[in-house]
Amino acid sequence: MEYRYRPSSHTFALERKNLAQALATIKKRIQALLDNKGTPVSGYNDITVYQAVARGQQIWYEEWDRHGHNPYYGRIEYVDRTEGEEPTVVYVSKAQRSLEFEDANGRLVDIIPWNAPVARMFITHRSVPGQWDLDRVTRIGIDNLEVVEVADTFRGPMLPPLPDSEGENAAEQLFEKRGGGKLSDIVATLQEEQYDLIVQPLRQNLVIQGGPGSGKTEIALHRIVHLLHSAALSPQQILYLGPSGPFLRYVSDILPSLDAQDVVLHDLVSWLSRELGVPVRKKSASSDDALLYDEVFTQRLERWVDHYAANLAKNLGDLRMAFDVETVSGRHQGTLELSSAQVYETFATSSRYSLRERWRLLRHRWDQMVETALAGAESRQLTSYQKLARQRFDHWQEQVPRVETLQDLMAIYPVARQEAGIEAPFHRESVWALADALALLFLAGRFLGHSQHYALVVLDEAQDVPAVGFALAEQLVSTNGSLTLVGDPFQHLNPYTEVENWSEVANRLHAQHVELLDNYRSGAQIVHLANAAHPAGIKQVPRRGGGIIHPPVKVSESKVAEAVMQEVVRGKREYLGQVAVIFANKAPRDLLERFQRLKPETIEMAFEPENPEPYDVIMATVEYAKGLEFDMVILMAETEEAFETTGAGAYQLFTGISRAREEVMMMGLRHLPKLYGRCYRQALRMTKFGSSALR
């Protein structure tokens, strides 16, 4: 329950005044900065301090210029036990720079960032024992510089009851429709479990597993924002890898809206292809390379690298150099030796270093031996022996094949792959399959080392990423950084990536592993339908009401285009956001053409566009639609097997249904889809017997 104030109430009036005060303060300070009168950009004789202050002011200006029209989500009233009994008031905002203003009662209050520790109480509605006693949490809706809503979402027991004239109790707000086909920031309605993941320290690895619409992508992106500010990371220290270009467009608004302007989001395939300098394709090469996707493949590659290193050491033999020098204490002669045992030790046991680093270690060791043995030698002699020693080393090293570039590695990759047990032949094609490309870059890490490491690596929609991709992501994390893996193993569409649970991955990474069960995307009916279709029977909890589901229908070849267009037109009329027509595997080309011919001029529709944004209707396969959301989804079973239990069908059905926010239907081309039909009946029973209760 929450307490909503009437617009005529005293509290509402007070918040109107407070907003006016806050807006005036922001305006004044921005103006002062523009006039260059802001405190203080002069008077510093140290230029770096001066520049830092000026830069700070610039950022402050940019942030408040952006958020000034909507400066906060609400306020918290609490007693800070460390400071006495006086209540403190803070307003919670999107901006990362605080601002102080004088409220309508003449008190100085702060507007603080949403991820500041105190702001957690805005979400949890709980005191922090011994530190902060929470009295009141108020949500303040602001639109067009006006207060449009004031509601206490928490009132402590010490607060006096409010007179009826002020407002009334009302059911808590649900996560209602905002329309549009883009993900937006959710700071105002963040939930505790989401917030706590977002603000985990930089070094904490996370494995965030959860059903569709549970906010996994939101959490990952908000975490980036939080770490950029709290750990003072630069955008270049962040590597975010998502499943596709259209998905990146779908999520691209969040970071800039939360003041993370320059983080570049990558889709895995394009990023890999840039890193390797070769084209990479998403689909696997053949049907017999399941092992390529398995963790065992990574382990075998690791072992192969170790064998490779050990063999090098064996083939190298000893490195020797005789010397004879004059020192102050007399003549000094002998033979320097880097024994094969020492070489083996460096090469075969220091597996945390890349091979390139191991060579460097060896060279360093040899240089040191020379330096120690020739200590005190006359300088000309020393220089010439050092030169000779280097030549010996180079010559000795040349006995074995060297892998120095990515091209060298590409040349030996087929051997590595075969040695790791992949039977399907590797064709040196112009395009690399995803798993091979990941394995190659992983090997590059072991052989050459990566040129760049990242403080935060995020792998989103990771369920379809081959296991070697996880190992690569781990490799790319810098010493003080961490990895965040995000996805839903039950939405996996690739037949080889079936992993029931990511606990083992989490264990290996010493990661915090969470499974999120709430669904914020879809109306309750749709969640019930998705639950009935869940391949492992996991039940999500709907956090929104409504949702419309339809029984399956059979459509004939001649009527299908008309039937779909009729629904599309209706969907466009009823919803603000996009409509999607989703096929399981392959959209028949003639059907797509018929859709296009039949569509009214006012409707823009496209098949799997690189940029889905401008279109009213998206036609796509489930693979494309992964991670995206639409107001209405028409599932199109193009064959009798499509969306059925065989193969990936059940996963496709579950993923397909879960794309919908408001409405789902299923059409079978020349047949009645069976699995969907069963799920539909089950979902209806759930609702009928009252289990659609929302949290």
Q: Which is nearer to ligand ATP, 25 or 494 (CB)?
A: 494
Scan for tokens 């059905």, then name that residue.
653
**How many residues line the site for ligand ATP (CB under 6 A)?**
22
Say whether 217 counts as a known binding-site residue: yes
Out of 67, 155, 216, 249, the residue judged to bind ligand ATP by CB under 6 A = 216
Out of 74, 167, 181, 215, the residue judged to bind ligand ATP by CB under 6 A = 215
CB of 242 to ligand ATP, least distance (A): 10
Contact call for residue 91 and ligand ATP (CB under 6 A): no
Rounded to whole angstroms, the Cα distance separating 323 from 202 reads 52
- Closest by alpha carbon to 433, among 568, 281, 228? 281
- Closest by alpha carbon to 6, among 155, 169, 136, 161? 169
Extract the tokens encoding 227. Answer: 């770490």
Alpha-carbon torsion (265, 97, 219, 628), positive or negative? negative
Alpha-carbon torsion (92, 95, 99, 101), positive or negative? negative
Residues 6 or more apart whose Cβ sits within 8 Å of residue 161: none
Say whether 215 counts as a known binding-site residue: yes
Out of 152, 267, 488, 663, the residue judged to bind ligand ATP by CB under 6 A = 488
Rounded to whole angstroms, the Cα distance separating 602 from 631 reads 18
Out of 133, 166, 474, 629, the residue judged to bind ligand ATP by CB under 6 A = 629
Contact call for residue 217 and ligand ATP (CB under 6 A): yes
Rounded to whole angstroms, the Cα distance separating 487 from 247 reads 14
CB of 172 to ligand ATP, least distance (A): 12
DSSP for residue 424: S
Out of 29, 155, 521, 528, the residue judged to bind ligand ATP by CB under 6 A = 521
DSSP for residue 476: T
Judged on CB neighbours under 10 Å (0-12, 13-18, 19+), 214 is: buried
Q: Which stretch binds ligand ATP (CB under 6 A): 181-189, 234-242, 396-404, 421-429?
A: 181-189
Say whether 334 counts as a known binding-site residue: no
Q: Which is nearer to ligand ATP, 123 or 409 (CB)?
A: 123
Contact call for residue 212 and ligand ATP (CB under 6 A): yes
> What type of residue is 563?
A
Contact call for residue 183 and ligand ATP (CB under 6 A): yes
Rounded to whole angstroms, the Cα distance separating 195 from 123 reads 8
Contact call for residue 214 and ligand ATP (CB under 6 A): yes
How open is the CA angle 243-248-252, to the nearest 5 degrees? 155
Residue nearest to ligand ATP (CB): 215
Q: Which stretch binds ligand ATP (CB under 6 A): 188-196, 267-275, 335-343, 427-435?
A: 188-196
Contact call for residue 189 and ligand ATP (CB under 6 A): yes
Q: What are phi and psi of 301, to 5 degrees?
A: -65, -45
Q: Which stretch binds ligand ATP (CB under 6 A): 209-217, 409-417, 475-483, 571-579?
A: 209-217
Q: Cβ atoms within 10 A of the Cβ of 253, count?
A: 15
Contact call for residue 346 and ligand ATP (CB under 6 A): no
> What type of residue is 202?
L
Out of 520, 595, 630, 651, the residue judged to bind ligand ATP by CB under 6 A = 520
Say whether 210 counts as a known binding-site residue: yes
CB of 3 to ligand ATP, least distance (A): 21
Out of 68, 167, 181, 213, the residue judged to bind ligand ATP by CB under 6 A = 213
Residues that bind ligand ATP (CB under 6 A): 175, 183, 186, 189-191, 194, 210, 212-218, 488, 491, 520-521, 627, 629, 658
Binding residues: 210-217
